[in-house]
Amino acid sequence: MENPIQHQNPTQGPKPSFLQSNTAKMIMVGMLTLFLLIPLTLVQSLVRERSERKNEVVFDVNESWGSEIHFYGPILKIPYKTYTETAIVDEKSRETIIQKNASIQNAYFFPNDLENKTTVEKVDDIKRGLYNPIVFKANMKFSGSFQDVAFEKLNIKSEDILWDKATILVKTTNLKSIKSDLKIVLNKKNYSLESKADEDNYFGTLETETFTYKSGEKIDFNFNMNYNGSNSIQFIPVGKTTVSSINANWDSPSFIGSFAANDTTKEITNENFHADWKILHINRPFSQQYDNKIPDLKNYSYGVKLIETVDQYQQNERASKYGFLVIGLTFLIFFLIQTISKKSIHIFQYTMIGLALIMFYTLLISITEHSSFTIAYAIAASAVIIMLLLYSISVLKEKKFPLFICASLIVLYSFIFVIIQLENYALLVGSVGLFLILGAIMYFSRKIDWNN
């Protein structure tokens, strides 16, 4: 019996293998994209490491130059006697004897009015390696008065008060960076301030020598303090009426604390800023006088923090977070061009393209440390785009599609840069941009026959 002869249609070529199909190529490119997340993650770790290194260096500089300034005072301190009674029973007579023991306590009084004028001058020549920390010199001038010292509100009798043991206290952090002669003028008499041991673990204490306070006396005071400080300066409004002003040659202040600056007088320019505060005793939740101990008041402060509006490492980290998007869209552009032009791009060539895209972020980090982020971004993006342009010309053997790739990368990197610079509208612009990119991909891929 003869075998039937199978006839093959001469117009049909051999069926391509699965590995040569578009589906297989898409799978391989997708796996390569996921694989490139590994070096991208290492780049993000490098950014965090460099940022932590910067924070360590800045901390060391701040510790040696001067830390953040937190200040309140002056405070009038007057000791008084308090008595405790102890009942003692005589064993022989069985009589009860009341023994009265005296101990010394302190009463603390805040000023009736307090005015503070502070000038902050940023210091630009303090640099450690690649980093320039935010340090400044602060000149603070204080004036005001004590009056209506109300012992009766503390239930202290006049005969128990040690009138000749009065002192003035000042509470402040950063004692080691005070650069002025510590003197305070009380009713035109000079008194020296000296550092004293205190149980307060946050504030240091400066105290004058003793003087005699007369009942009902008004004490006018004024003193100056010069600091080396860093990052922020804050005050606590201990005056019954506290008036403050801060002037600084810094263009990006952040007003912090429990009390807002006066909006009508606040001025911020490209070179400096001015801010005023007026705080009344009814605006704050603490009293004008205390006995035995002053409570913790550091949560009731106000002031300003000198900030960097744009942290270069934060920008680098944000840029690296878009790395997956950049790699994915670039691969998609090459894949669409490969499909439309019938040019073959090997998976090795995709790998080289992906590594070039990863190199963008290492270039960006290294150049940023020696320049601004904008310049670094422009240099790194230009270098990568030119490299991919020349490589695609070599791979595709023509200039039409490589020029299209170059234009697409310019648009893509520009889009990412705009998103990084934006804060309030980053999500909106990013969403609209991705929607337009998706629309463009759908448009250019609409006529591709994915079955062949």
b/e sequence 340-365, b meaning 16+ C-beta within 10 Å: eeeeebeeebbeebbebbbbbbebbb
Contacts of residue 423, defined as CB under 8 A and 6 or more positions apart, other chains included, come to none
Report pLDDT for 275. 93
Report pLDDT for 167. 93
Q: Which of 288, 241, 282, 243 is nearest to 261 (CA)?
A: 243
CB distance 297 to 234 below 8 Å: no
What pLDDT band is residue 130 in, cutting at 50, 70 and 90?
low
Evaluated on CA atoms 275, 280, 281, 283, the torsion sign reads negative
SS3 99: strand
174's enclosing H/E stretch is: none
CB distance 206 to 172 below 8 Å: yes
Report pLDDT for 20. 56
Mean pLDDT of 218-244: 91
Tell me the percentage of the chain whose pLDDT exceeds 90: 23
What is the per-residue pLDDT across 342-355, written as a single tens digit (0 to 9) for each?
Answer: 777 788 888 888 88
Report pLDDT for 5. 46
Q: Given a cut of 90, is residue 302 above it in pLDDT? A: yes
Report the chain's mean pLDDT, rounded to a whole number.
83
Question: Residue 260 and residue 277: Cα distance in Å, rounded?
Answer: 7
CB distance 266 to 248 below 8 Å: no
Q: Given a cut of 80, is residue 62 above it in pLDDT? A: no
Higher-pLDDT residue of 135 and 128 is: 135
CB distance 322 to 419 below 8 Å: yes
Mean pLDDT of 97-102: 70
What is the per-residue pLDDT across 147-165, written as a single tens digit (0 to 9) for each?
Answer: 888 888 888 888 888 999 9
Residue 96: alpha-carbon gap to chain centroid? 66
What pLDDT band is residue 92 in, cutting at 50, 70 and 90?
low
Report pLDDT for 123. 82
Rounded to 5°, angle at Cα 422 from 418 and 425: 110
CB distance 46 to 365 below 8 Å: yes
Q: Which of 106, 97, 89, 47 is nearest to 363 (CA)?
A: 47
| Residue 189, both tokens | 């008499």
Question: Residue 452 and residue 450: Cα distance in Å, rounded?
Answer: 6
The DSSP bridge partners found for residue 193 are: 208
Higher-pLDDT residue of 174 and 140 is: 140
Cα distances (angstroms) measured from residue 80 to each of 23, 162, 173: 90, 5, 28
What is the per-residue pLDDT across 435-446, written as a single tens digit (0 to 9) for each?
Answer: 887 787 777 777
Report pLDDT for 90. 65
Query: Computed over its alpha carbons, how large is the radius of gyration of the chain?
Result: 36
Report pLDDT for 184. 92
Contacts of residue 38, defined as CB under 8 A and 6 or more positions apart, other chains included, come to none
Q: Given a cut of 70, is residue 272 above it in pLDDT? A: yes
Q: Given a cut of 60, is residue 392 above it in pLDDT? A: yes
Report pLDDT for 423. 64
What pLDDT band is residue 417 in, cutting at 50, 70 and 90?
confident
What pLDDT band is residue 1 in, cutting at 50, 70 and 90?
very low
Mean pLDDT of 41-59: 81
Torsion, Cα of 153, 155, 159, 161 (10° steps): -70
Give, to the nearest 10 degrees, the angle between helix 22-35 and helix 347-368.
30
Report pLDDT for 17. 56
Q: Which of 155, 17, 182 is nearest to 83 (CA)?
A: 155
Higher-pLDDT residue of 399 and 115 is: 115
Report pLDDT for 85. 67
